[in-house]
Amino acid sequence: MVEYRWRYQDEQGREVEGPAEVFADQTAAEDWFGGAWAELRDAGVARVTLLRDEAEVYGPMSLAPAE
pLDDT tens by residue, 4-57: 999 999 999 999 999 999 999 999 999 999 999 999 999 999 999 999 999 999
Residue 65's pLDDT band (cuts 50, 70, 90): confident
**What is the reported pLDDT for 67?**
72
Helix (H/G/I), strand (E/B), else coil: 34? helix
Query: What residues contact 62, with CB distance under 8 A and at least 6 apart?
Result: 46, 47
**What is the reported pLDDT for 54?**
92
**What is the reported pLDDT for 66?**
76
* The model's pTM: 0.92
